[in-house]
Each structure stands twice: as structure tokens, then as C-alpha cells.
Copies of this chain bind each other. A is one copy, B any other.
Amino acid sequence: MADAGFTVIRVGESVWSTWEPSDGCFSLDWLQPVLDGASARNISVILGTPTYAVPPWLVRIYPEIAGERGTGSRIPWGARQEVDFTHPAFRFHAERVIRAVVGRYATHPAVIGFQVDNEPGLELLHNEGVFQRFADHLRISYGSVERLNEEWGLVYWSHRLSTWADLWRPDGNAQPQYELAWRRFQARQTDEFIAWQAAIVREYASASQFITTCIAYDRPAVDDRTVTAALDVTSGNAYYVMQDGLALPDTRTPTQTWTTDGVWALYLTADRMYSSRQEPFLVTETNAGSIGMSWDNRPAYDGQWRQAAWALVSRGARMIEYWHWHTLPFGTETYWGGVLPHSGQPGRTYRELSRLGAELELLDSFVPDADVAVVIDVPTQWIMQKFPALSHPDGTPDERAYQGLVEPFYRGAFDAGLQARLLHAPQLGFDVADAVRRFPVLIAAGLYLASDETLDWLRDYAEAGGHLILGPRTGYADLEARARPDRMPARLASAAGAWYDEFSNLRTPIEVTTDPEHLPVADGATATRWIDGLNADGATVLATYQHPHFGRWPAVTTNAAGRGRITCVGTVPDTRLASALLRWAASGRVTVWSSLPATVTCTSGTTPDGRRLRFVHNWSFDETNFPAPVDCRDVLTGKSVPAGDEIELSRWDVRVLLEDPGTGS
């Protein structure tokens, strides 16, 4: 490890049954030589609490702690994260082992921080205690069943409660209002659990040690914004498809899963991690040898590990940890390829990561730049999993409908060479002048659940000089998932100079014609999946549908609003339309770095002394080159690159360039 430049390891979090082989019998000494050995090699350690994987003796003694995926349906033990972590019998034992382990090792000089639990929020727990506390939560929140009946609209289908005991179980629920409350409550359980652990660990931690947990962002019961509130730093796990999944140009639109697929999606992962606390973050896990199950081994092409690491770093990662060191010869993760292969002999992965380790040491601190802001909202994602606005092409519901509405805009920005800052909807509300200054363009697409305050803030942002881009479904419902009784987009239609009161799903794309002067698009741009029946009521029409019915409505309108502008996009734009739209909207952000070969991306950050760092990637087997637009210094080689000199990128290559002062965009 030391040879390869590894500077930090993570230990202790998967082995409760090693820490405590049987109930109350602890075995703590075994880690000492590991920590000592790390110290001796200048390797820092993040110490984990082992609560995510409970030992078999604990579920044997207290079978009632098994999590329930449906009421009364216990998750059989055998993997991990199977328990109801809210259950006192679990908490009692979890606290005991946390205090034993952390108490023993917190002061070891190698330990720089702590990870509590691991990828929390895997399950929506249906246990009796969880449900009863949910009912209590509703009782306290709404005060009376009459109020709940009214707010949730329970008149239809005879759902009015006569007393709190009437509250039905989540298993059979078909009401969006209930679903949303249930999902919010589930995330609050995770928040509380992580905060509870963090508080225990904080009793032992010194001021210089941080506390975090590692987040798998697609977990159903976690809200990254709220769960990180009790922590010192965000940590996320970034798994991505390697090999051709990282090639550019990329005309695919693959489904994203717990692994992302596509260069833009890798950047989205990083930007999402930044968004949790709006600050730099740690990557606690990412692809080593190859990741996934036994049937999905696709280790990187040479160069791709380095590319991915630099991509994450360029967007705010302050640490890159590889999962994991030595590929396990047994267990479920036998094919979760580590840095070392099963033979234990350093191989290609080790060699590739060694190269990277040396490079990362050369980088100074910087802040990643942003050209546009994209509003995201976790509760909207939740409600659209069960009540999605989009279908698959065959008409079946798309539980990733929320992402299907937002990601095309993010990708449009990416394809246009722009960098995005994601903002959780509850992170809005700050000074609009500041917002306009930081983000000249702000995208709010798919923001189905929105408060009056949020919608008004969006309008104020535009009127203060920002360019607000609205996509389908934004502002359609209130925070109870009730459709608003307004012409849509609610509270924004007037300022947008456009409204709609009907909409249609699309199973096949429709060609879009754009105003060539204002919104030039390469041939063949299409509207996909959804059409709002927009009526231009003062706004200028920028694009229309080529269709005998839908052609009556504009696809894109734009309208001056105060000192700014509101653009309405009535459809899910394809990659051509989305990138053209963003290129137009953010035309002020076009830089000398914007016209690069099709396989090349360039992201940037700003150093404390105000200089611009450029991270230039060539995502291809083909080498390429382009003239340096300004004088630079190559951070990794230390050499100067005068403006006009060819910047050469070999296959799957990265260059990190520091613009010389006085030049730049």
C-alpha cells in the first residue's frame, strides 16, 4: 500500500462478530497491530462502527429485531442490514459494541476519523414499532383525524379515519399522501439513527477527528441532505460502469442503477455528493478491480481508473478510497474485485492506482466551479417511485421517472461543456442576488413537490436577473403531493408568460423545430416521454413540435421576467435539444475551453489565489490533441504549456493544467 501511495485505510466496520464473538464477550485487541502498522507507514485510518452487519447470535436471541419488508414479513438473516435499527434490543447491543471499539481505539494516533454504520437506509422498515411511531408522528403532526382526513383528501374510496387506530398499514396503501408521509418518516429514522451513533462516537473523538458515514445515494430510506446534518463531512460511494461505459461521444441513454453508466453520470455522482452539504466530500468507496456480482466483471481499460479519480477530484472529492484492498476469496463479495486480485499478487489494478497515487500528491486545494445550478428534491424522487410521471416505452411505470425528468437537463449542461452545482430544494431560499451572482442559470425540472415559498423564490431569482429554466412537472403539486388548483406551472405561469392545463405522455419521440436564430439545434432534435400543453401568453416561442396535434403547443418558450428570464421546457429534451438549450442559456459561460474534440471534456476549479485549474480528459481509445487556448502549467509534469502549443492526450488520458495568471477565460 505504501509503495502505491495509499495514505488512508478504513477498518473495522464489517466485523461485529469478530469484535464480539458471542453476547457480551469482546475481542478487541486484534486491530492494534493493524493500526500500529498503518502508523508506521504514515497511513491514516478511518475507524468504522460495525453496526450494519449484526452477528448471528444477536438475531438468534432477539428474532424480533429482524427488519420487516412488509408487515409481519421478516427479512431472513444472511446478508447484512437486515435489522430494524430502531428497535431497542438492537440499540442496546449496538451502543455497547460501539463504545467498546471506539473507546478502545479512538485515541490511536493513526485514527483520523470515524465512520458510523455503512450505506444506511437500505430497507423501508414495516416493523410494528416503526408503524406505531409513524402513527404517533401523524397524530402529533396533524393533531386530529379530521385534519388528516382533510389534508390527505380521504373522502374518496372511503378512506376517512374515525380514530387514529383506523390508520391502515403501508402494505396496502394506494394514496400518494400516505406514501409521501411514510417515505419521509422512513428517512427520519435513518437520520435519527446516524445522529445517535455520531453522538456516541463524539464522546470519544477529539476535535481533529471527523465523523461521517458512507452514503449509497440510491438507498430508499436515506436523504443525503438531512442525514449528513449530524456529521462532519459527507462521504459517498461512487460505483460506475467502466470499459465502454466511459467512452465519448456517447449517444446511449442507459438506465442508471447503483452503478452509474456514462461519463456525465460519473460527474453527476460527484456533484450530488457535493450537494449534500454544499461542500467538498470524501469518496469512501469506488471501483477497484471490478465491481459487482459474479456475473458482472468489467475491469477498467488502462487509464480509466485514473480518469475517474481525477473526475471525482475535480468536482470536490478530497479523498478516493478503493473498495477494497484484497479481493475476498469467499462470501457474497467474492467478485467485488479489490486492488489486488485473488492471487494477492499486485496486478494491473495495483499498477494503475500506483501511478495515480503519486499524481494526487501534486495537487493543491481548489474549489470546483459551477456554471449552472440544478435543483433536486429527494421527496419528489420518493413519490415518483410509486407514482411516476413517466413510463417505459412499453407503457409500464418507470420508477426512475424523477431522474428521467432531471437528468436530461444535467446531461444537457454537461454535453454543452458546463459545470453544474446541484441544490436540494430545501437549500434554496437564500439571498436571490447571491443566487444570481453564483448561478446565472438555474434549472428546475421535475420539481413536482414544491412549497409556495420555493416557487416564489424561483420567480424572485428570475426577476432578480437569473435565467430560470423550468422543466415538466415543476410546481405541479404541493408538499402533500396534492395537485395544485392553479394553471401550471403554479405561481410561475404569469412571470413565465406561459401556462398549461393538460399534458400527455409520449411513447415515441417527436421531432422538434427550433427558432434557428435563438436556439440553433443540429438536425433531428426530439421531444421525448412527456409534453405539457404550453400556451404562450406573452412568452416567445423558441421551439415547436412537428405533430398534427401537439404542434399547436410550443415545446420551449422564454419570457423576460424582471431583470431576468424564465424559459419553459414543455418536454423531456433529447440530448441534442437539451445541450442546445443549455448552450444558449449559458452562452455567457462559453470559454476558450469550450470547443474541444468530441472525446474530450474539461472541468475546472479555482485555487485560493484565484487561478483556474483545468482538468482535461480524453475518454477514448484514440489519442487526440488541441492547441492550448491560454498559457498554462502542467501540474503533473511541472512543464509550461504556452498558448497555441498542442495539448496531447493519449488514450484514456488526463491532463491537469493551471492557467497562468493574467490569462484564462
Query: Contact residues of A with B, CB < 8 Å?
Result: 14-18, 21-23, 50, 53-57, 59-60, 71, 75-80, 82, 152-163, 165-178, 243, 289-290, 293-299, 301-302, 327-335, 337, 341-345, 347-349, 387-391, 395-398, 401, 480-488, 501-505, 533, 548-549, 621, 651
Picked from B21, B156, B504, B533, the residue with its CB within 8 Å of the CB of A160 is B21
- On whether the beta carbons of B78 and A166 are closer than 8 Å, the reply is no
7 shortest interchain CB distances as A-B pairs: A76-B172, A78-B172, A153-B330, A22-B162, A76-B171, A56-B166, A17-B160
Query: Which of chain B's residues have a CB closer than 8 A to the CB of A165?
Result: 60
Picked from B17, B289, B342, B487, the residue with its CB within 8 Å of the CB of A159 is B17
Query: Which of chain B's residues have a CB closer than 8 A to the CB of A501?
Result: 341-343, 345, 347
Task: Determine the distance from Cα of A166 to Cα of B55 in the docked complex, in whole angstroms.
Answer: 9
- On whether the beta carbons of B289 and A162 are closer than 8 Å, the reply is no
Picked from B16, B243, B330, B483, the residue with its CB within 8 Å of the CB of A177 is B330
Measured CB to CB, the closest approach of chain B to A174, in angstroms, equals 4
Task: Determine the distance from Cα of A293 to Cα of B396 in the docked complex, in whole angstroms.
Answer: 10
Picked from B14, B173, B243, the residue with its CB within 8 Å of the CB of A78 is B173
Chain B residue at minimum C-beta to C-beta distance from A300: B549
Picked from B56, B168, B344, the residue with its CB within 8 Å of the CB of A77 is B168
- Asked, given contacts A295-B389, A299-B502, whether A342 binds B15 with beta carbons under 8 Å apart, the answer is no
Chain B residue at minimum C-beta to C-beta distance from A75: B172
Measured CB to CB, the closest approach of chain B to A1, in angstroms, equals 18
Measured CB to CB, the closest approach of chain B to A301, in angstroms, equals 5
- Asked, given contacts A175-B78, A334-B483, A484-B342, whether A154 binds B17 with beta carbons under 8 Å apart, the answer is yes
Picked from B23, B168, B651, the residue with its CB within 8 Å of the CB of A548 is B651
- On whether the beta carbons of A157 and B295 are closer than 8 Å, the reply is no
Measured CB to CB, the closest approach of chain B to A277, in angstroms, equals 29
Task: Determine the distance from Cα of A548 to Cα of B327 in the docked complex, in whole angstroms.
Answer: 26
Task: Determine the distance from Cα of A159 to Cα of B14 in the docked complex, in whole angstroms.
Answer: 10
- On whether the beta carbons of B153 and A329 are closer than 8 Å, the reply is yes
- On whether the beta carbons of B328 and A153 are closer than 8 Å, the reply is yes
Task: Determine the distance from Cα of A397 to Cα of B154 in the docked complex, in whole angstroms.
Answer: 40
- On whether the beta carbons of B14 and A53 are closer than 8 Å, the reply is no
Query: Which of chain B's residues have a CB closer than 8 A to the CB of A167?
Result: 56
- Asked, given contacts A17-B160, A158-B80, A173-B78, whether A153 binds B331 with beta carbons under 8 Å apart, the answer is yes
Query: Which of chain B's residues have a CB closer than 8 A to the CB of A173?
Result: 78
- On whether the beta carbons of B56 and A327 are closer than 8 Å, the reply is no
Q: Is the interface of A mostly helix, strand, loop or mixed?
A: loop
Q: A77-B168, A298-B504 are in contact. List 14 more A-B contacts (CB 8 A).
A: A15-B155, A22-B162, A53-B158, A55-B160, A56-B167, A57-B166, A80-B157, A156-B330, A157-B332, A289-B502, A295-B396, A296-B505, A298-B505, A345-B501
Picked from B82, B177, B333, B341, the residue with its CB within 8 Å of the CB of A502 is B341
Measured CB to CB, the closest approach of chain B to A607, in angstroms, equals 35
- On whether the beta carbons of A388 and B160 are closer than 8 Å, the reply is no
Query: Which of chain B's residues have a CB closer than 8 A to the CB of A82?
Result: 172
Query: Which of chain B's residues have a CB closer than 8 A to the CB of A178?
Result: 78
Task: Determine the distance from Cα of A293 to Cα of B302 in the docked complex, in whole angstroms.
Answer: 47
- On whether the beta carbons of A482 and B158 are closer than 8 Å, the reply is no
Chain B residue at minimum C-beta to C-beta distance from A153: B330
- Asked, given contacts A76-B71, A158-B55, A166-B57, whether A175 binds B502 with beta carbons under 8 Å apart, the answer is no
Chain B residue at minimum C-beta to C-beta distance from A547: B621
Task: Determine the distance from Cα of A176 to Cα of B387 in the docked complex, in whole angstroms.
Answer: 37
- On whether the beta carbons of B156 and A504 are closer than 8 Å, the reply is no
Picked from B330, B349, B483, the residue with its CB within 8 Å of the CB of A482 is B330
- Asked, given contacts A15-B156, A294-B388, whether A329 binds B483 with beta carbons under 8 Å apart, the answer is yes
- On whether the beta carbons of B71 and A163 are closer than 8 Å, the reply is no
- On whether the beta carbons of A487 and B345 are closer than 8 Å, the reply is yes
Q: Which interface residue of A82, A294, A348, A390 has the most chain B CB atoms within 10 A?
A: A294
Measured CB to CB, the closest approach of chain B to A320, in angstroms, equals 21
- On whether the beta carbons of A21 and B487 are closer than 8 Å, the reply is no
- On whether the beta carbons of B504 and A299 are closer than 8 Å, the reply is yes
- On whether the beta carbons of B327 and A483 are closer than 8 Å, the reply is yes
- On whether the beta carbons of B295 and A397 are closer than 8 Å, the reply is yes
- On whether the beta carbons of B298 and A55 are closer than 8 Å, the reply is no
Picked from B78, B163, B549, the residue with its CB within 8 Å of the CB of A302 is B549
Query: Which of chain B's residues have a CB closer than 8 A to the CB of A488?
Result: 342-343
Chain B residue at minimum C-beta to C-beta distance from A622: B548
- On whether the beta carbons of A175 and B53 are closer than 8 Å, the reply is no
Query: Which of chain B's residues have a CB closer than 8 A to the CB of A302?
Result: 549
Task: Determine the distance from Cα of A504 to Cα of B304 in the docked complex, in whole angstroms.
Answer: 15
Measured CB to CB, the closest approach of chain B to A419, in angstroms, equals 29
- Give me 12 A-to-B residue pairs in the complex whose CB atoms sit less than 8 angstroms apart, sorted by A's number: A56-B167, A71-B76, A76-B168, A78-B178, A153-B329, A154-B331, A159-B331, A243-B549, A290-B504, A294-B387, A295-B505, A298-B504
- On whether the beta carbons of B158 and A18 are closer than 8 Å, the reply is yes
Task: Determine the distance from Cα of A76 to Cα of B126 in the docked complex, in whole angstroms.
Answer: 13
Query: Which of chain B's residues have a CB closer than 8 A to the CB of A388?
Result: 294-295
Task: Determine the distance from Cα of A502 to Cα of B339 in the docked complex, in whole angstroms.
Answer: 11
Chain B residue at minimum C-beta to C-beta distance from A51: B158
Picked from B15, B172, B344, B548, the residue with its CB within 8 Å of the CB of A79 is B172
- Asked, given contacts A389-B294, A502-B289, A549-B243, whether A157 binds B14 with beta carbons under 8 Å apart, the answer is yes
Chain B residue at minimum C-beta to C-beta distance from A54: B158
- On whether the beta carbons of B155 and A22 are closer than 8 Å, the reply is no
Task: Determine the distance from Cα of A169 to Cα of B63 in the docked complex, in whole angstroms.
Answer: 13
Query: Which of chain B's residues have a CB closer than 8 A to the CB of A480?
Result: 330
- On whether the beta carbons of A78 and B347 are closer than 8 Å, the reply is no
Task: Determine the distance from Cα of A554 to Cα of B343 in the docked complex, in whole angstroms.
Answer: 20
Chain B residue at minimum C-beta to C-beta distance from A70: B76
Chain B residue at minimum C-beta to C-beta distance from A476: B342
